Amino acid sequence: MLKKIFISAVLILAVLSFVVSLLKGNNNAEKTVTVPDRVAVINISGTIISGADSKDNIFSQTNGVTSGSIMKQIREAAADDSVKALVLRIDSGGGSATAAEEVGRELKRFKEKTKKPIVATIGNTGASAAYWIAVCASDKVYANATTLTGSIGVYMPYMNTEELFKKIGITSNKIKSGPYKDIMSSDRPMTPEEQAILQNIVNEIYEQFVTTVAVGRKMEESKVKSLADGRVYTGLQAKNLGLVDEIGDYYDALAAAGELGKIKPGATDCRR
C-alpha cells in the first residue's frame, strides 16, 4: 500500500515538474519588438568633400562632412523598413561638385528603390554644392526667410606666386611629360590655352549643376541660368524665385516629411 502511494506521489511530482517547465519555456520565449514608423534625419553640416567617412581614417579628419558618410546613412535609411521618409538637415556653404554628384546619385537611388519622400531643410546656409544636394531629389525644400542659399555656379581657384618667389630668391624648375602636365602651377602665369582648357571644364560642371536644378525644381534651364550667376539669395527671395518651396524651420520640414510618409503624429525622429 505504501509502495503504491509512493509511486503515485512520484508520478504526480513528475507531471507537475513537466507542466512547470512548459510554463517557464513559454515565459522565456523571445518577445517581438515592433519599431514604430519614423523619419530618418541626415545632418549635412560644414564643407562637403568627396571621400570615405572621416571617422574611419584618423588622417583625414574634417570639420565638414564627406560624401562617403552621407551615402552610408542614405543606404542605411533605405534598408530600414521602419523609415518612411528622409529629411536632409543642411547647414553648409558648399564644397566639392563631385561630392554633391555622388550624394545626389545616392539620393535618386533611394527614391527609385523605396519610393519614399525626401524633404530638405536649410538652416543658416545651403549654397553651391549644398544647394545641389538639397534640390536634386527632394519632394520639398524648406528654408528660413534669412537663410542664404543658391550660389548656383562653379569656380576653380588659382594663385600665381611667381613675383613673391622672385622676391625671396626661389626659382622653380620642372621636367614634364607634356605641355599641360603642370597646368595651374602657381609659380608661373597661366597660358591662354590652359585657361581655355580649364574654362571648358568649369562650363561642363556648371551645365550639370544647372540641369540638376532644372530637373529638381521642375524649371526651364533658361530660367535656371538667369538665376545661376553665382549669387546667393535669401530664403524669402529663393521662395519667390521658385528655388525653394516653403519658408519654415527644421520642425516644419520634419512634420512635412511625416505627412508625406503617412506617419502617425508622434512618430520617432530617427537621427542618423
What are the CA-CA distances from residue 258 to residues 37, 39, 78, 83 (Å)?
9, 7, 16, 10
3-class state of residue 89 by DSSP: strand
115 classed as catalytic = no
- Number of neighbours of residue 107 by Cβ within 10 angstroms: 25
Q: How far is residue 62's CA from residue 48's CA, in Å, rounded to a whole number?
A: 9
- Number of neighbours of residue 230 by Cβ within 10 angstroms: 13
Whether the Cβ atoms of residue 47 and residue 95 lie closer than 8 Å to each other: yes
What letter does residue 95 receive in the DSSP assignment? B
Phi, psi of 105 (to 5 degrees): -65, -40
Q: How far is residue 114's CA from residue 79's CA, in Å, rounded to a whole number?
A: 9
Q: How far is residue 175's CA from residue 98's CA, in Å, rounded to a whole number?
A: 30
Q: How far is residue 154's CA from residue 147's CA, in Å, rounded to a whole number?
A: 20
Catalytic residue among 8, 181, 226, 262: 181
128 classed as catalytic = yes
Q: Compute CA 204 distance to the chain's CA centroid, rounded to the nearest angstrom.
A: 23
The three grid cell numbers given for residue 34, joined into one nine-digit string: 515592433
Q: How far is residue 213's CA from residue 225's CA, in Å, rounded to a whole number?
A: 10
Catalytic residue among 69, 128, 138, 151: 128
Which residues have a catalytic role annotated?
A: 128, 181
